[in-house]
Chain A
């Protein structure tokens, strides 16, 4: 099982760096980096906040793949 994400892609689309995105969703740059690398699965609240910033849905940003 794994949670993949398209955070980097969306960030590039909106020309945001990790610090900017972190500030917008109320987390540190380090946390955004951990999520992007797939080393940390965000809470529902954080996932919703990130999706809101990019004007998309959580399902569009985070892809859950069963092995």
Chain B
């Protein structure tokens, strides 16, 4: 009975998705010109304001990063080992700080890519300086934040500037921390499967109105296949004796 219900649900989801896809396709064909101009305007908006966008994103992220960083540092200086609530608060702030630093660096790469693409209409040197500033700032803050994390968790090992940092760091994590990392990684894998599927569909729909070339499909396909194969290979290896959890 349960299997029948699940199959029915799956079939309904397929039919609804097909209908939505068809409807979107029809919409794009009928409003092709408007969509084409809309996308073109959006692209021009980014291209013309790329440097300002870089300034704004870098400035805002840097400000947020510094506020959180100094707040954590201040709290760590007056940390009482018996104050579990303060420990949890600092831990939560560090959990926001590290992804924010990574996101700042990733956005820097993305926007510098746009600068290079738009090299004929935009001063590349300013873009390059902004990119280098962004990357250096993110790297320095990453190192300093990991140092702060080590103050909170002295058992953690690894130098962030060492190529083996990830290995050493995870080696110094205990069982619950590893469990959290594995669970978060699997959630990321699951979500990315949906994201790749969604972005691929979006490219297909947009390509009805605008010629986006073949590279988006190649790139998304390459990333999607790589993720799937790496996951499958790792799962296979771990199932055959390389789990390394014997204490």
Show the binding face of A for B, using Cβ within 8 Å.
Answer: 17-20, 26-31, 33-35, 40, 42-43, 45-46
Which chain A residues border B176 with CB–CB below 8 Å? 27-28, 30-31, 34-35, 40, 42
Q: Which chain A residue lies CB-closest to B83?
A: A17
Residue of A27, A30, A34 most packed against chain B (CB within 10 A): A30
A-B contacts, 8 of them at CB < 8 A, read A18-B84, A28-B155, A28-B174, A28-B177, A29-B84, A31-B176, A40-B176, A45-B247
Q: Give the residues in chain B near A27, CB-CB below 8 Å.
A: 174-176
CB–CB B175/A19 < 8 A = no
Given contacts A17-B82, A17-B84, contact A30 B175 (CB under 8 A): no
Given A28-B153, A30-B176; 13 other pairs, CB 8 A cutoff: A18-B84, A20-B81, A27-B176, A28-B173, A28-B177, A29-B84, A31-B176, A31-B177, A33-B87, A33-B88, A42-B175, A42-B176, A43-B247
Contact check, B175 vs A43: say whether CB atoms are below 8 A apart.
yes
Q: Assess the B81–A19 pair: CB atoms within 8 A.
A: yes
Give the distance in Å from the alpha carbon of A35 to the alpha carbon of B176 in the complex: 9
Q: Does B81 contact A17, Cβ atoms closer than 8 Å? A: yes
Beta-carbon contact of B179 and A33 below 8 Å = no
Binding site for A on B (CB under 8 A): 81-82, 84, 87-88, 91, 153, 155, 173-177, 179, 247
A26 pairs with B153, CB closer than 8 A: no
Whether the Cβ atoms of A30 and B177 lie closer than 8 Å is yes
Nearest opposing residue in chain B for A15, CB measure: B82
In the assembled complex, the Cα of A23 lies from the Cα of B105 at a distance in Å of 35
Chain B, Cβ-Cβ closest to A45:
B247
Instruction: Give complex CA distance A53, B82 in Å.
Output: 19
Which residues from B are CB-within-8-Å of A26?
174
Q: Are B174 and A40 in contact (CB under 8 A)?
A: no
Give, as a whole number of angstroms, the nearest-CB distance from B168 to chain A.
16
B153 pairs with A29, CB closer than 8 A: yes
Chain B residues lying within 8 Å of A35, measured Cβ to Cβ, are 176
B162 to chain A, nearest CB (A): 21
CA distance A40 to B174 in the complex (A): 12
Provide the bound-state CA to CA distance between A18 and B247, in Å: 23
Which residues of B lie under 8 Å from residue A45 when comparing CB positions?
Answer: 247
Contact indicator A31/B175 (Cβ below 8 Å): yes
Min CB–CB distance B171 → chain A (angstroms): 13
A33 touching B84 in the complex, CB below 8 Å, given contacts A27-B174, A27-B175, A40-B176: yes
